[in-house]
């Protein structure tokens, strides 16, 4: 069970005003509007974001790549291997990627970039494939400029798109 049940009645109705959405977020079950329930309804949802015990990001820069290493998050509803991760980078300043709100706002002059798209860790792969080994995760941010300072943020989300954030990492790529 991923949520809660609520039994409504004429004396205790439930009014939904924001909408009900499918798990995969591709289509609406009930478009935003208003619905009053006078009987039973079972709303299953996960409202807790994944938990990150160690929020550090470890980095090993090259001239045009940065190898990133971090520890898996855990979730109270789904298997750890079903969590998805992505990596955002900025060359402007750390505040550009300090919170998910700042990342998604992407206000000038930040020019945040999603260096690694949302993905579940894989057993094998190279480059921009997030790879897992036990509780460790690693990926390479590629196509970067030499001798440039990068601010890096890793996000993790569960299947309900609840997001948690790792700490901001900062490193400078090497000269060619």
Q: How many domains does the chain have?
A: 2
Question: In the prediction, which pLDDT does 151 show?
Answer: 97
The distance from CA 119 to its chain's CA centroid, rounded to whole angstroms, is 9
Q: Are residues 92 and 161 in the same domain?
A: yes
Low-confidence ranges of the chain (pLDDT < 70): 1-10, 14-44
Question: In the prediction, which pLDDT does 68 show?
Answer: 98
Q: Is 116 exposed, middle or buried (0-12, 13-18, 19+ CB in 10 A)?
A: buried
Structural domain contains residue 52: no
124 — alpha (psi -120 to 50), left (phi > 0) or beta? Answer: beta
Question: In the prediction, which pLDDT does 111 show?
Answer: 86
Q: Are residues 40 and 69 in the same domain?
A: no
Look up residue 48 and give its two tokens.
């807790």
What is the residue range of 78's domain? 58-172
Q: Are residues 73 and 160 in the same domain?
A: yes
Q: Are residues 97 and 69 in the same domain?
A: yes
Q: Are residues 131 and 104 in the same domain?
A: yes
Question: In the prediction, which pLDDT does 28 show?
Answer: 47
| Cα 162-167-173 angle, rounded to 5 deg | 125
Q: Are residues 98 and 155 in the same domain?
A: yes
Structural domain contains residue 53: no
Structural domain contains residue 154: yes
pLDDT digits 0-9 by tens, 20-71: 554 544 444 545 555 666 666 555 577 899 999 999 999 999 999 999 999 9
Question: In the prediction, which pLDDT does 26 show?
Answer: 46
């Amino acid at each position: 069970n991923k949520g809660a049940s609520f039994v409504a009645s004429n004396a205790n109705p439930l009014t939904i005003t924001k909408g009900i959405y499918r798990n995969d977020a591709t289509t609406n079950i009930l478009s935003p509007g208003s619905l009053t329930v006078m009987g039973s309804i079972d709303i299953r949802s996960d409202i807790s974001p994944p938990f990150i015990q160690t929020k550090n990001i470890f980095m090993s820069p090259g001239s045009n790549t940065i190898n990133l290493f971090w520890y898996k998050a855990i979730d109270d509803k789904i298997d750890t291997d079903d969590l998805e991760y992505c990596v955002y980078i900025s060359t402007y300043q750390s505040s550009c990627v300090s919170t998910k709100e700042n990342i998604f706002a992407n206000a000038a002059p930040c020019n945040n970039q999603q260096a690694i798209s949302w993905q579940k860790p894989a057993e094998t792969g190279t480059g921009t494939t997030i790879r897992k080994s036990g509780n460790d995760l690693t990926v390479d941010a590629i196509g970067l400029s030499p001798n440039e300072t990068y601010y890096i943020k890793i996000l993790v989300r569960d299947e309900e798109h609840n997001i948690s954030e790792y700490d901001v990492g900062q490193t400078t790529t090497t000269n060619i």
